[in-house]
Structure 1
Amino acid sequence: MKLKINYLIVCIFLVGLHGCKEKKEEKTTEVVASTVGQDDEFTPIFDGKSLDNWSGDPDYWRVENGTLVGEVTPTTLLKKNTFLIWEGGQPADFELKLEFRIAEAGNSGINYRSEKVDGIPFALRGYQADIDGKINYTGQNYEERKRTTLAYRGEKAVIKSQENPDAPDSIRGNIANNAWQSREVLESLGTSDELKTEIKSEDWNEMHLIIKGNRLQHYVNGILMSEVIDEDHINRALTGHLGVQVHVGPPMKVEYRNIRLKSL
């Protein structure tokens, strides 16, 4: 009798264990299915084969092994930053996902809600998700040719208009130490050094931008690196061009792949 009871207990334990395993597997499947469903809503805007629907200087941009490559060589050093600009529209509210890899000496970024600069080929002015090879600035929000730094990595900041926007050269007058002065840090997302450890050096990382209304969020590898709430009604932009950058400086190489866009 004792043997039968022990046998029954073992059977009940094994059945229960099997049931738990099934539930765990079912839950995992739901998470994966949910992730796939979200990714299905994104549309590729780089075909991995050509620069169709993109405009830029071919001395600096090419497609290689399914990857978009931006490169500055000793014989093609830049005097001004140059961009490869997506010509498929001017997104307003959107999410952008892509993967990037950058050399240690590299300096790049992803511009959005930007305008083309008159008289300078392939130049953009506007918001930028910063990327650099030394990982000093990757993830911050820097406004190219305009208000400069809006939020350093690790900051959630609100941006205000300057006190006297009608003053001559009012934008330049409101910048100090390469940062916009009419801004307030609302909270910390973590120190810059802490967040730096989440970014891989000279390896592939994922950038995810969530841009909706006046809220601008930059994620790297699933971690929120900076957030801007732009209440500057005079200088902010609510729509504009997308582009990727190679920066003035030493020879460098940056690569992008799996560039996908979703309208919100």
Structure 2
Amino acid sequence: MNRKKNLVFYKIVICLICFYFFQSCKEKKQEPINQIFQETHKTDKEFVSIFDGKSLINWKGDSKYWSVKNGNLVGIVTPETILKNNTFIIWQGGQPENFELKLEYRISDSGNSGINYRSEPLENNPFALKGYQCDIDGKNRYTGQNYEEKKRTTLAYRGEKVVINTQINPDKSGNLRTNKKKNCWQSRYISGMLGEKDSLKSKIKNGDWNQVHLIIKNDTLKHYVNGFLMSEVIDNDTINKSLKGYIGVQVHVGPPMKVEYRNILLKNL
């Protein structure tokens, strides 16, 4: 009888050890990207956090869609709050010109979002921006490309290095539609390839946290995801390019979705 009791006891101990080992491995698996940001903050003091993880201080957006939960900046569209127009939450702490921006995001499969920079508000919508955007979507069809919201549309698809030289004047209403085709700006020269589109797509995690690093300096706009350069634009269009403006993140028209942002760090160059 004692031998049976001892056997049961040893089995319980082994199960507990296995459980704690599994939990430990699980926690370690979730660490790496967070650790990158913590190390960045320690080693490069010029990076400053612009989101405190607790409140929307210095951020302006529609509270119907944006909130802070579990330390994350969260954008949610529900069946009851379907959008008619894209809406942003906009950082109010400045309008950077040359900078680096680092952050992490996680997005639902049906989600569509983006990180705008050097952007300006629309006159008829206080929560909308027009300007450069690092595109993000849950199915990773567009993630990493350079899309200019409400202006020249797609400037560089994922994997492209693009130069824009041609100067196109908008019409009297400010519209540039005559030089757009299939949601892509036509006056662009692909000067090189950064990698095969699907190969770069494989570097992006589905339904998990991803790291974005934007390096924006003078006319050169670089979008990195998880350390891989996804697109690069050299914008020499003196009529339509922007040299400074607001930073904001987006929830897009479409089906219900959820996007989360955290560890938002800015470094002025």
**Alignment TM class, shorter chain as reference:** 0.7 to 0.9
1:96 and 2:104 aligned: no
1:35 is displaced (CA, Å) by 5.7
- Counterpart of 1:173? 178
Distance in 1 (alpha carbons) for counterparts of 2:250 and 2:184: 20
- Counterpart of 1:72? 77
Amino acid at match of 1:252: M
1:120 is displaced (CA, Å) by 1.2
1:240 is displaced (CA, Å) by 0.2
Name the SS for the 2:176 alignment partner: helix
Distance in 1 (alpha carbons) for counterparts of 2:76 and 2:196: 31
1:39 is displaced (CA, Å) by 3.7
Aligned pair partner of 1:42 in 38, 43, 47: 47
Which has the higher Rg, Structure 1 or Structure 2? 1
Aligned pair partner of 1:145 in 143, 150, 174: 150
1:192 is displaced (CA, Å) by 1.1
Aligned pair partner of 1:242 in 218, 243, 247: 247
Name the SS for the 1:173 alignment partner: helix
Gaps of 5+ in 2: 1-38
RMSD between aligned residues: 1.6
Distance 1:40 1:183, change over 3 A: same
1:40 is displaced (CA, Å) by 2.9
TM-score (norm 2): 0.83
The answer (yes or no) to whether the contact 2:167–2:239 under 8 Å persists in 1 is: no
Distance in 1 (alpha carbons) for counterparts of 2:219 and 2:178: 23
Distance 1:179 1:166, change over 3 A: closer
The answer (yes or no) to whether the contact 2:109–2:138 under 8 Å persists in 1 is: yes
Distance in 1 (alpha carbons) for counterparts of 2:181 and 2:228: 28
Aligned pair partner of 1:56 in 36, 57, 61: 61
Distance in 1 (alpha carbons) for counterparts of 2:263 and 2:48: 10
The answer (yes or no) to whether the contact 1:72–1:252 under 8 Å persists in 2 is: yes
1:199 and 2:201 aligned: no
Alignment of 1:1-264 (within 5 A): 38-162=43-167, 165=169, 171-264=176-269
Distance in 2 (alpha carbons) for counterparts of 1:170 and 1:66: 40
Distance 1:76 1:155, change over 3 A: same
Distance in 2 (alpha carbons) for counterparts of 1:263 and 1:38: 16
Name the SS for the 1:158 alignment partner: strand
Distance in 2 (alpha carbons) for counterparts of 1:166 and 1:67: 39
* Paired residue total: 231
The answer (yes or no) to whether the contact 1:161–1:234 under 8 Å persists in 2 is: no
Distance 1:57 1:195, change over 3 A: same
Distance 1:49 1:170, change over 3 A: closer
Gaps of 5+ in 1: 1-33
TM-score (norm 1): 0.84
CA displacement, residues 30-70 of structure 1 (integer Å, 9 cap, x when unaligned):
xxxx9666543210000000000000000000000100100
Distance 1:62 1:191, change over 3 A: same
The answer (yes or no) to whether the contact 2:107–2:208 under 8 Å persists in 1 is: yes
Distance in 2 (alpha carbons) for counterparts of 1:110 and 1:243: 6
